[in-house]
Amino acid sequence: MGVSCHHCDDQTPATGAYRRILYIVIAINAIMFVVELSAGLMANSVALQADALDFLGDTATYAITLMVLGLNTTWRAGAALLKGATMGLFGIWVIGQTIHHAIDPGLPGAAVMGSIGTMALIANMVSALLLFRHRDGDANRRSVWLCSRNDAIGNIAVVIAASGVFATGTAWPDLAVGLGMAALALTGSWQILRQAMGELRAARTIPAGAD
């Protein structure tokens, strides 16, 4: 994408439709956070708990995006920095949880993992499809798309992990997926932070009100 795109008016003609889509995906993510966290605790699954917290993070991410929608580049890039940092903290937390469960293992419930993982996959695929046409733009918009994309990938991995737990009778597939989701979050965090910092640097070279 071109640098000039980062200083446009946040694609104003599409803002109304984008705002409506964000309200829908906020509702989807908030509901799935409650469902998946409850199931993750019940099934003793690191992967489900990690994905549930990701739903919570996404709910906050989309709400922040709504708050800064239509504001200037500095505000949007600042919001993206906050979201990128949150994604990074989420990745670090999941790594810690994975280490804890590796030291004190318990067999996750494969059936619960598979069914809830499939439900979460459907929810995230719907969100990703709704957001697909808005995947390009500044770091703020890109962070929303990356969250949805990462979630869908993570849900597929959770379903695969459930099969692995069932087949092996061990928790290692669940722990491996937890680490993979952490790596995905850290990678997405770096991409968002790098782009947002670039936009902030570029904004300082433009006269006030020009973006």
**Section 191-202 average pLDDT:** 81
CB 124 within 8 A of CB 152: yes
Cα separation of 135 and 112, whole Å?
Answer: 32
Q: Which residue has the higher pLDDT, 187 or 24?
A: 24
Q: Are 58 and 86 in contact (CB under 8 A)?
A: no
Residue 31 has pLDDT above 60, yes or no: yes
Q: Of 64, 61, 32, give the one whose Cα is nearest residue 49.
A: 32
- pLDDT, mean of residues 22-49: 88
Integer Cα distance of 175 and 114 in angstroms? 15
Query: What mean pLDDT is reported for the chain?
Result: 77
Average pLDDT estimate for 17-43: 89
Judged by average pLDDT, the poorest of 4-8, 14-18, 85-89, 104-108 is 4-8
| pLDDT band, residue 122 (cuts 50/70/90) | very high
Residue 47 pLDDT > 70, yes or no? yes
Which of 88, 37, 82 minimizes the C-alpha distance to 64? 82
Q: Which range (123-127, 158-162, 188-192, 203-207) has the least confidence?
A: 203-207
- Spatial neighbors of 151 by CB under 8 A, at least 6 apart, are 51, 54, 55, 58, 120, 124, 127, 128
**Domains contained in the chain, CATH given:** 10-203 (1.20.1510)
Instruction: Yes or no: say if 120 and 155 are a contact pair by the CB < 8 Å rule.
Output: yes
Which has the closest alpha carbon to 94: 30, 51, 157? 51
Higher pLDDT: 135 or 46? It is 46
DSSP per-residue codes, the chain: --GGGGGS-S-HHHHHHHHHHHHHHHHHHHHHHHHHHHHHHHHT-HHHHHHHHHHHHHHHHHHHHHHHTTS-HHHHHHHHHHHHHHHHHHHHHHHHHHHHHHHS-----HHHHHHHHHHHHHHHHHHHHHHGGG-SSSHHHHHHHHHHHHHHHHHHHHHHHHHHHHHHSSSHHHHHHHHHHHHHHHHHHHHHHHHHHHHHHHHTTS-TT--
Residues 188/87, Cβ–Cβ less than 8 Å? yes
| Mean pLDDT (whole number) for 143-163 | 78
Q: What is the pLDDT of residues 71-101, one digit of tens each?
A: 777 777 777 788 788 878 878 887 887 787 7
Rounded to a whole number of angstroms, the CA Rg of the chain reads 18
- Residue-level pLDDT at 86: 80
User: Stretch 31-59: mean pLDDT, rounded?
Assistant: 84
Mean pLDDT over 98-109 rounds to 75
Closest residue by Cα to residue 32 from 129, 132, 152: 152
The percent of residues above 70 in pLDDT, for the chain, comes to: 83
The pLDDT of residue 14 is 53
Residue 24: what pLDDT?
92
